[in-house]
Structure 1
Amino acid sequence: MNIKELLNKTDDFLAQRGIESSRLDAEVLMAELLDMERIHLYVKYDYPLKAEEIKKYREMVKERAKRIPLAYIIGKKEFMSLEFELSEAVLIPRPDTENLVEEVISYCREKELQKPQIIDVGCGSGAIAVSLAYYLEGARVVGSDISKDALKIARHNLKKFELEERISVVRSDLLTEFIKREISEIDIIVSNPPYISEKEMEELPPEVKKEPRTALAAGKEGLDFYQKLIPQAEKVLKKEGMLFLEIASQQAEAVFDIFGENWSQLELIKDYADHDRIISAKYEGE
């Protein structure tokens, strides 16, 4: 059987199981199997596959048919033009979150911050922390996460990009560990926290439900982590330090209401699809 024949069969197989991106997924898995760029498959359609290649490919396809996310099957995902290693212990980085990273980068460049001290709260795979250190040459970044397994993946990624000297990771429930260590004078705190409500959790697509619940669920209204994180940030940020938060598109007003009198310059930023996506705020001190 050649590449084209197996791709056609796989496309039909996945489509019958309700996977809308069946052709794309079939091609991504094939490219992974053969260790080549997906575009190169088109000039190799007649390549005859070996029996063990077919067997390995079918094993991956079976996983996808079970609605296991593609990124978990191939163990990687591109984010900010960088390829991150993944496992089922971490949330899969989304393109929407690139807006959050870009806002922090723009702020640092606009303010000409040469060596900003940044904390990425709930760092997961390290995608945000690594991207910030990669594109901001002087930045010092600490990624925090409550999950030991997530921190293992984050450490792997910061080593992959040779950023150990400027990134470290800490196990912490939000900013609790930083407060215990009396760490303050941080320039920027950035976070893509869990923000899905109980009702929304029930309605998630099967693939998303395969991701860590602790990285998604945020209580009845989806606001639990903002209610904890924003007051904690006041104890860690320097005066006029900045907080950047990703939010769900319908949460802006509710999250704005959590900020108290110690904050100013609250700004709502939209993503590329014109959805409310980011809130930034300056800490004015007590």
Structure 2
Amino acid sequence: MNIKELLKRSDQFLADRGIESSRLDAEVLMADLLDMERINLYVKYDYPLKSSEVDRYREMIKKRAQRIPVAYITEKKEFMSLEFKIKEGVLIPRPDTENLVETVIEYCRQNELQSPQIIDVGTGSGAIAVSLAHYLSEAKVVGVDLSPQALKIARSNMEKHELSERMSILKSDLLAEFIKREIKEIDIIVSNPPYISKTEMEELPPEVKKEPKTALEAGEDGLDYYRRLIPEAEKVLKNGGKIFLEIGYQQSEAVSKLFAENWSQLEVKKDYAENDRIVSAVFEAVKKTETENN
């Protein structure tokens, strides 16, 4: 059987089981099997597959038919033009989150931050932290998470991209370890925290439900992590330090209200689909001190 024939059968097999991206998924899995770019499949349509290759491919297709995400099957995902190792138990990086990374990079370059100290809270696979360290050549980045699986994968991605000299992975419940160590001079905190409500969780596609619930759900209204993270950030950021948060498209007003009087320059930024996606603010330690003195 050649590539063209097997792709056609697999496309139909997935489509019959309700996979909307059946053709794309079939091609991505085939390209992964043969270790080639997807576009090259068209050039090699008549390439005869070995029986062992057919067997391996059919196992991949069966997993996809069971609604296992493609990234968990291939164990990799592209993000910010970098390849990341992905395993089950770790959130799969989304294209929307590239907006968050690009916004932080732009902020650092516009403000000529020479060697910013950055914390990525809830680092997961390390996609945000690794991308920032990669594109900001002088930045010092720490990715934090509580999940042992996430910490393991994030470290492997840090090492894969040879960033161990300027980057580290730390086990911490949000910013608890930094507060405990009295670290208070961080330039930037960035996070794509869980922000899906319990009700919304029930409505998610089957594929998304295969991802870790702890990386998705954030209480009754989806705001639990913002309520914890913003006050903690006040204890870690330096005066004039900035926080960047990814949000759900209907959460900008609710999240903005969580910033107290010791924050300024509150800004909401839209993603490429014109949905509210990022809330950022600058911490004013002076205001906090004045409030405490009064």
TM-score, L = length of structure 2: 0.97
Give me the whole-angstrom Cα distance separating, in 2, the residues matched to 1:11 and 1:269. Answer: 38
Deviations 1:205-230 (A, max 9, x none): 00000000000000000000000000
Verify: 1:197 aligned to 2:197, yes or no: yes
State the percentage of identical aligned residues. 73
For 1:204, the aligned partner's letter is L
- Which secondary structure does the structure 1 equivalent of 2:254 belong to? helix
Deviations 1:176-208 (A, max 9, x none): 111111111100000000000000000000000
Q: Which residue of 2 aligns with 1:58?
A: 58
User: Could you list the runs of 4 or more consecutive aligned residues of structure 1 that deviate by over 6 angstroms after TM superposition?
Assistant: none
Deviations 1:136-176 (A, max 9, x none): 01000000001011000000001001000001011011001
Verify: 1:271 aligned to 2:271, yes or no: yes
Verify: 1:71 aligned to 2:71, yes or no: yes
Q: Post-superposition shift, 1:18?
A: 0.4
Deviations 1:251-271 (A, max 9, x none): 011001111011000000000
Deviations 1:68-91 (A, max 9, x none): 000110000000000001001211
Give me the whole-angstrom Cα distance separating, in 2, the residues matched to 1:202 and 1:30. Answer: 32
Q: Which residue of 1 aligns with 2:150?
A: 150
Q: Which residue of 2 aligns with 1:85?
A: 85
For 1:120, the aligned partner's letter is D
Deviations 1:216-251 (A, max 9, x none): 000000000000000000000000100000000000
User: Tell me, which stretches of 5 or more residues in structure 2 are unaligned?
Assistant: 289-294
- Which secondary structure does the structure 2 equivalent of 1:101 belong to? helix
Q: Which residue of 2 aligns with 1:208?
A: 208
Deviations 1:51-101 (A, max 9, x none): 111000000000000000001100000000000010012111011000000
Residues 202-281 of structure 1: pairs in structure 2 closer than 5 A: 202-281=202-281
- Which secondary structure does the structure 1 equivalent of 2:18 belong to? coil
For 2:71, the aligned partner's letter is A
User: Tell me, which stretches of 5 or more residues in structure 1 are unaligned?
Assistant: none
TM-score, L = length of structure 1: 0.99
Q: Post-superposition shift, 1:50?
A: 0.9
Give me the whole-angstrom Cα distance separating, in 1, the residues matched to 2:135 and 2:37. Answer: 25
Q: Which residue of 1 aligns with 2:292?
A: none
Q: Post-superposition shift, 1:47?
A: 1.1
For 1:16, the aligned partner's letter is D
Q: Post-superposition shift, 1:48?
A: 1.1
- Which secondary structure does the structure 2 equivalent of 1:38 belong to? coil
Give me the whole-angstrom Cα distance separating, in 2, the residues matched to 1:98 and 1:48. Answer: 38
Give me the whole-angstrom Cα distance separating, in 2, the residues matched to 1:103 and 1:32. Answer: 31
- Which secondary structure does the structure 1 equivalent of 2:39 belong to? helix
Aligned length: 286
Give me the whole-angstrom Cα distance separating, in 1, the residues matched to 2:137 and 2:48. Answer: 46
- Which secondary structure does the structure 2 equivalent of 1:201 belong to? helix
